[in-house]
Structure 1
């Protein structure tokens, strides 16, 4: 049996090793329980965990690990919180902190939160957990060091402090400022060096001893009764999980670069808003595909790859490899991206007949409705006056290929392949004839607007958005 323990400021690795033979890991974070189970853990014990700066461990990954036969224990800190929340599903909580939450005596997460030093300094606690302050003041009251009323006042003061600021010197200072009895505060100060109660550490050791006893008695694989529902969010966790032996990037280059990139994007609000909408479309497309168990077919992914490379002129292997390097992607990551593109394309095809009303509303929200509506009205009026409201390609002064070339060049895509079907799809038209008609109307309208005899009335119409309208 292989035991993995997630420890930090509550209990040191050296102390844990004296009690139990286990793989000792840093405080648990998002994806760590999944990784531990993937690495062969049969028992997982959670004591400490991240909750600020680094995403916290998901309930979902604990449920998945138990479904896979792994026994998961929790105690003292983050482990106690998750054990209370997941005890109906089979996670096992150990210790006074867990039981206090279970009985409803404690409710707030900050009761177990502490500030701590980084890994290089052994995750040493830099503040005192509220549950430890409660236990210590209770012991002081039981010993007659402080009266019950003073104990209650001290607890109120400690609770009002932000968790990183909780320490006994700070508590005594705040209590003195609040006018509490100086004699009792002096007695408490003398009591603290020997009288402090580390409730969290005691609970963590109790969990290790409980695991040891269960192992000695023989521990069969965990059995659960619930159905585990795989979702798009679960899939994202699995894809993002890195090996446990890779150090967590707590502000290193990887996280810094991603944060810097997103900060840069946020400073360009129009581009950022478009990126957010695109990301939301991608997320919802994957969710719909998963809900209907409809993964893209191989030919659909191939089509997405072809479209991607055509749009960027990445025809030869060298150009493609260069793009991957510049964008920080491996080949397998690019394949997943293209599968996502195929999902988006499928959802867009499905949504096309139903989306028009929503598109109009979005144009209003984007402040484009008035400008585009004015241009559309002027285009219709101008084309009707010129007898070109429903133009025919046969009567046009240019071929299909030349018309598409004109359109792409006006968009700044002069080097793009002249594929009418692909261009129609990318532009959002239902089919080629619909796209071709729109191109002809735009072509004739632009020529009419650029003609010297264009009326003053027409020239006063506000210009459209970036070409073509």
Structure 2
């Protein structure tokens, strides 16, 4: 029985694993829930998800997942928002934040939005969610540390901040210039170290505990009563995911690949395939969709590069190459060529080190210098031959120095 959880700044995967045996994934973006549902988990929990510059997890992919029998839960952040929007269709929401959205007390996505670090930094929050600020102010009022009037004024100031700027140091500084008594500001500052409320984390923990209790034995597939309509927007999302997915072992039975493995060109071809895969991923992350002029350009480029006199010859050439999904192939080719232009200077800069890693650099350099000694005479003086390498410049530790 597999469970997938999307989380990030709200609760770290390392902490979440203590509550639930599950596969923990980064914050959900558009297509991620569909991709996860393809593995047929018994349930998916959405805590964190991207928005603004990255397309958000869509309603359609959640509906599709539930239609495949997958139980989908949401809490704390993007999950609470989507659960409130899709509760009528069977998505299950958990926690106080979900309840507030479901009752209509909250409706803005900036209530749960935070700025955060990258995956390498553990998605460390760099701002405070409005729901946490509000819960903290109410807690300070309940504890007698803050008058209700001051709490309401501080809430108004915090709400006007852009979500990336919303944090207690900025809130307290602005409050001093906007009529909040200094004594109340000092009281809140003293209350925060021990009294700060992290409502998002509390709701995330509640979600994990609920899913742990619900999915301990045999579980029936999620029942739904709606008809899933495969709209153009849905097909676009699904198509992007399907095109970017590479099934394990997909090339193992391809006769051309099997034949290539018997030749010396396999390693170089595989490097090219890796570069193609990475280029497609870069284009996907940029949200680029080639169409119109970009596709016409790639058709002309293929004809020119492959020596095809007319565009009409391209169809038969593609058929000979075993291209079945012509539109998908041309779109991918357009993406790759766009990334080649974008990252061309970077590739040129990395080429010498690539040649060094393959062992080709020394022989190519020596052949070039031998062929044109005059042109390279001055340059050669700036290079040390293998027998002239200074011992002090050779690393003696086991580490590779870069």
- Residue aligning to 1:195: 195
**In the aligned structure 2, how far is the partner of 1:61 from the partner of 1:262?**
20
8 Å Cα contact 2:111/2:131 also seen in 1:
yes
- Residue aligning to 2:346: none
Give the secondary-structure state (helix, strand or coil) at the position aligned to 1:21.
coil
- Residue aligning to 1:34: 34
What pairs up with 1:64-213 in 2 under 5 angstroms? Answer: 64-213=64-213
8 Å Cα contact 2:140/2:146 also seen in 1:
yes
**In the aligned structure 2, how far is the partner of 1:244 from the partner of 1:18?**
32
Instruction: Please say which structure displays the higher CA radius of gyration.
Output: 1
**In the aligned structure 2, how far is the partner of 1:259 from the partner of 1:72?**
25
8 Å Cα contact 2:75/2:94 also seen in 1:
yes
- Residue aligning to 1:232: 232
8 Å Cα contact 2:83/2:91 also seen in 1:
yes
- What is the CA distance between 1:52 and its match in structure 2? 1.9
- Residue aligning to 1:60: 60
8 Å Cα contact 2:11/2:201 also seen in 1:
yes
- What is the CA distance between 1:210 and its match in structure 2? 0.6
Closer, same or farther: CA 161–142 of 1 in aligned 2, 3 Å: same
- Residue aligning to 2:13: 13
8 Å Cα contact 1:32/1:244 also seen in 2:
no
- What is the CA distance between 1:219 and its match in structure 2? 2.3
- Residue aligning to 1:221: 221
Superimposed CA distance per residue, residues 191-241 of structure 1 (whole angstroms, 9 cap, x where no aligned partner): 101110000000001001111111136421100111111122222222211
Closer, same or farther: CA 256–25 of 1 in aligned 2, 3 Å: closer
Give the secondary-structure state (helix, strand or coil) at the position aligned to 2:226.
coil
- Structure 1 runs not aligned, ≥5 long: 247-251, 266-271, 279-307, 322-329, 340-469
Superimposed CA distance per residue, residues 298-318 of structure 1 (whole angstroms, 9 cap, x where no aligned partner): xxxxxxxxxx99525437749
The alignment status of 1:334 with 2:326, answered yes or no, reads yes
Give the secondary-structure state (helix, strand or coil) at the position aligned to 1:221.
coil
What pairs up with 1:367-386 in 2 under 5 angstroms? Answer: none
Closer, same or farther: CA 21–174 of 1 in aligned 2, 3 Å: same
- What is the CA distance between 1:254 and its match in structure 2? 4.8
- What is the CA distance between 1:243 and its match in structure 2? 4.0
**In the aligned structure 2, how far is the partner of 1:199 from the partner of 1:106?**
14
* TM-score normalised to structure 2 length: 0.65
**In the aligned structure 1, how far is the partner of 2:246 from the partner of 2:185?**
47
* TM-score normalised to structure 1 length: 0.56
Q: Which structure: greater helix fraction?
A: 1
**In the aligned structure 1, how far is the partner of 2:54 from the partner of 2:161?**
23
**In the aligned structure 2, how far is the partner of 1:179 from the partner of 1:2?**
53
What pairs up with 1:385-424 in 2 under 5 angstroms? Answer: none
Superimposed CA distance per residue, residues 169-206 of structure 1 (whole angstroms, 9 cap, x where no aligned partner): 00000101112110111111111011100000000010
- What is the CA distance between 1:40 and its match in structure 2? 2.2
Closer, same or farther: CA 319–23 of 1 in aligned 2, 3 Å: closer
Q: Cα RMSD over matched residues?
A: 3.2
Closer, same or farther: CA 238–71 of 1 in aligned 2, 3 Å: same
**In the aligned structure 2, how far is the partner of 1:81 from the partner of 1:123?**
20
Give the secondary-structure state (helix, strand or coil) at the position aligned to 1:50.
coil
Give the secondary-structure state (helix, strand or coil) at the position aligned to 2:74.
strand
Structure 1 stretch displaced more, 102-111 or 65-74: 102-111
- What is the CA distance between 1:60 and its match in structure 2? 0.5
- Structure 2 runs not aligned, ≥5 long: 249-277, 297-307, 332-402
Closer, same or farther: CA 107–245 of 1 in aligned 2, 3 Å: farther
Superimposed CA distance per residue, residues 307-353 of structure 1 (whole angstroms, 9 cap, x where no aligned partner): x99525437749986xxxxxxxx9354255799xxxxxxxxxxxxxx
Give the secondary-structure state (helix, strand or coil) at the position aligned to 1:157.
helix
Give the secondary-structure state (helix, strand or coil) at the position aligned to 2:88.
helix
